[in-house]
């Protein structure tokens, strides 16, 4: 069983502990699939997600919206220690840019 229009965020990583590839899905962090090849791990996690959604639907649970379909405002709040805030503000001022622009540039590097 596979999902039609599957837009979930999958990744496959090597698991040294299991000596196999591990298929993961960001929207379903409790699900995973181990396999001998990356292709099989991806196929397996996609199948597990499809089965999980089927169970969730039968139980009347809400299904996670794929990350790729979510709307983002471009704003988020981060708490940092005051001394780091001061240091970043000084660096931004020295470069002649706003703190927002300075931090945005740091995040995209």
pLDDT digits (tens, 9 = 90+) for 78-95: 999 999 999 999 999 999
Number of other residues whose CB lies within 10 A of the CB of residue 105: 12
Instruction: Please report, for residues 4, 15, 50, 61, 85, the alpha-carbon distance to residue 45 in angstroms, rounded to integers and kept in the order given.
Output: 15, 15, 9, 20, 41
Number of other residues whose CB lies within 10 A of the CB of residue 97: 14
Question: Tens digit of pLDDT for each residue in 30-60?
Answer: 999 999 999 999 999 999 999 999 999 999 9
- Euclidean distance between CA atoms 92 and 101, whole angstroms: 8
Structural contact between residues 33 and 44, judged by C-beta atoms closer than 8 angstroms? yes
Name the DSSP class of 68: G
Q: Name residue 12's beta-bridge partners.
A: 23
pLDDT band at 4 (very low <50, low <70, confident <90, very high): confident
* Residue 109, token pair as written in the block: 């590097």
pLDDT at 61 over 90: yes
């Amino acid at each position: 069983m596979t999902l039609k229009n599957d837009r979930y965020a999958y990744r496959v990583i090597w698991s040294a502990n299991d000596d196999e590839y591990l298929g993961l899905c960001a929207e379903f962090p409790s699900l995973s699939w181990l396999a001998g090849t990356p292709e099989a791990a991806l196929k397996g996690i996609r199948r597990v997600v499809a089965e999980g959604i089927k169970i969730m639907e039968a139980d009347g649970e809400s299904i996670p919206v794929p990350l790729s379909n979510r709307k983002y405002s471009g704003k988020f709040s981060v708490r940092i220690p005051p001394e780091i805030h001061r240091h970043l503000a000084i660096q931004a001022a020295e470069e002649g840019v706003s703190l927002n622009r300075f931090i945005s540039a740091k995040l995209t590097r």
